[in-house]
């Protein structure tokens, strides 16, 4: 990306009070939440900025901030983000969720209101340096501050702008590269713009047809280049207003907490467009990222000291919520590992067998550097990002964790599987990870290989055929 991702919009402070709810109150039919633990994080445009920083992107957040305790906490929480503040009168918006057993029981909102000062020279300079711009307009005044919308409209002609609209926010500026409403937002915006209400009941219109109709209406209404309607578990539909729309299906995942999934989608799309990818490619990336984010625990996947650049779906802590849920329900976490360079039938057979041993399969995947040390400078043939994506696409795989070490011992200590599945050549012998497994009572088992299947053999066969073909043609192509 030629410049930073600049995020423009309203920031608030989100606070989760999470505890256990095991009984009802004797004086009212409400759950009693015991021993709640408070965790604060940026919300709104601030959450989007934090996500982008976790991706390793250079991020600038242009947002209205007041001078109160909540605003000071937000600045502390926005690690890795350069904050360019527009002056705000009034209290910072704070939203508190009370949660137990993965469910939100209550939300308390305080603050909000006040007037936002106009576009500052620092904010204008940040916008003009952007490689791409993401607008998260929650209707609290940042985008409509004096000069901000006008500057966004001017820049849309030369800088990719992604607009994540919200019911209380204003319309995107004409020329916006991509607008990302969810299904309900798209329908509401289209109706508000004069499009007739949905006809699904009368015509058996499906969700994709409805999304296409609403997207096309919004393209004309807003004069933007593309509208991607997000459909939750259905993925997303991208329309340019002419020709066949593009659909990006979502992988099947267990949704732990959907809060922030729309932000995750928009951030990924904005980063991809800034890197020169086509809108259809950006939407596909965004669907995959949003699915990984909700499966990894939603906002919880951003907690702790995750290294910048580690995607939520590939981080050990990111998958912790799903693994812990399996354990709480009495299930068994299984892990296996390897390079999985050129995935073949033998790999699939081993992974399928490993998954049958339990209820959640974690694949510990050697990073590119680790593979090079183990297999030589010509390997891997497939980069780790693609290897991980292929593995995640398998129905038997629940989680992929990439590790840099020569052995998976350290990552196993963090995943703590009940079963560690190794290849059949370890049958009857001690596995190198045995000592680590003993620390938590894990069990190593050996799984049979499919005879004659190996990546090394496949590579050797391909090279042999290429050599013979070259010899037959005299080296001419």
Rg (CA), the chain: 25
d(CA 474, CA 472): 6
Are the C-beta atoms of 52 and 271 separated by less than 8 Å?
yes
Tokens of 349: 């057979």
Q: Which of 10, 164, 263, 285 is catalytic?
A: 263
Q: Tally Cβ neighbours within 10 Å of residue 201.
A: 7
Task: Provide the 3-class DSSP secondary structure of residue 33.
Answer: strand
Which of 254, 457, 458, 447 is closest to 336 using CA atoms?
447
Q: Which residues of 211-229 are buried (b: 16+ CB within 10 A; e: fewer)?
A: bbbbbbbbbebbebbbbbb
d(CA 57, CA 184): 30
Q: H-type helices in 55-105, by residue range?
A: 69-77
Is residue 89 left, alpha or beta, with left meaning phi > 0 and alpha meaning psi from -120 to 50? beta
The owner of tokens 């795989």 is 397
Helix axes 261-274, 279-295, angle to 10 degrees: 140
Which of 80, 72, 93 is closest to 53 using CA atoms?
80
| Beta-sheet pairing, 11-24 with 81-87 | unpaired
Task: Provide the 3-class DSSP secondary structure of residue 50.
Answer: helix
Residue 263 known to be catalytic: yes
Whether residue 380 has a cis bond before it, omega within 30° of 0: yes
d(CA 93, CA 359): 41
Which of 187, 174, 181, 178 is closest to 223 using CA atoms?
174
Are the C-beta atoms of 210 and 188 separated by less than 8 Å?
no
d(CA 28, CA 51): 39
d(CA 403, CA 411): 7
Environment class of 390 (CB within 10 Å of its CB; exposed 0-12, middle 13-18, buried 19+): middle
User: 357 — phi, psi (to 5°)?
Assistant: -80, -10
Query: Which amino acids are annotated catalytic?
Result: 263
């Amino acid at each position: 990306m030629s410049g930073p991702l600049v995020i423009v919009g309203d920031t608030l402070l989100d606070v989760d009070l999470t505890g256990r709810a095991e009984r009802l109150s004797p004086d009212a039919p409400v759950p009693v939440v015991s021993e709640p633990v408070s965790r604060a994080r940026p919300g709104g445009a601030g959450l989007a900025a934090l996500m982008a920083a976790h991706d390793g992107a250079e991020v600038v957040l242009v947002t209205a901030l007041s001078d109160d305790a909540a605003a000071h906490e937000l600045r502390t929480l926005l690690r890795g983000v350069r904050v360019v503040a527009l002056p705000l009168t009034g209290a910072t918006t704070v939203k508190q969720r009370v949660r137990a057993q993965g469910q939100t029981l209550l939300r308390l909102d305080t603050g909000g209101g006040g007037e936002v000062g106009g576009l500052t020279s620092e904010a204008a300079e940040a916008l003009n340096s952007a490689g791409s711009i993401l607008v998260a307009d929650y209707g609290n005044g940042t985008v409509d501050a004096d000069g901000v919308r006008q500057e966004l409209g001017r820049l849309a002609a030369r800088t990719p702008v992604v607009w994540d609209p919200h019911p209380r926010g204003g319309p995107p500026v004409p020329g916006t590269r991509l607008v990302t409403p969810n299904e309900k937002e798209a329908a509401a915006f289209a109706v508000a713009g004069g499009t007739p209400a949905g006809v699904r009941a009368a015509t058996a219109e499906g969700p994709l047809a409805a999304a296409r109709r609403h997207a096309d209406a919004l393209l004309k209404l807003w004069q933007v280049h593309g509208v991607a309607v997000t459909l939750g578990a259905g993925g997303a539909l991208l329309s340019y207003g002419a020709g066949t729309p593009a659909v990006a299906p979502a992988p099947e995942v267990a949704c732990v907490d959907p809060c922030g999934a729309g932000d995750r989608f928009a951030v990924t799309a904005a980063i991809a467009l800034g890197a020169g990818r086509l809108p259809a490619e950006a939407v596909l990336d965004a669907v995959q990222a949003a699915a990984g984010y909700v499966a990894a625990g939603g906002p919880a996947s951003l907690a702790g000291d995750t290294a910048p650049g580690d995607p939520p779906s590939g981080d050990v802590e990111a998958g912790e919520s799903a693994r812990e849920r399996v354990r709480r329900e009495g299930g068994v976490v299984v892990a296996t590992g390897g390079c999985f360079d050129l995935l073949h039938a033998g790999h699939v057979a081993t992974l399928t067998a490993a998954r049958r041993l339990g209820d959640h399969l974690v694949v510990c995947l050697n990073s590119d550097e680790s593979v090079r040390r183990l297999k030589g400078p010509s390997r891997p043939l497939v980069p780790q990002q693609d290897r991980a994506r292929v593995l995640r696409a398998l129905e038997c795989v629940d989680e992929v964790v990439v590790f840099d070490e020569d052995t998976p011992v350290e990552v196993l200590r963090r995943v703590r599987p009940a079963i560690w599945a190794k290849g059949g050549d370890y049958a009857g012998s001690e596995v190198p990870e045995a000592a680590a497994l003993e620390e938590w009572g894990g069990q190593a088992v050996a799984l049979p290989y499919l005879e004659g299947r190996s990546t090394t053999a496949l590579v050797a066969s391909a090279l042999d055929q290429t050599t013979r073909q070259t010899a037959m043609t005299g080296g001419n192509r």
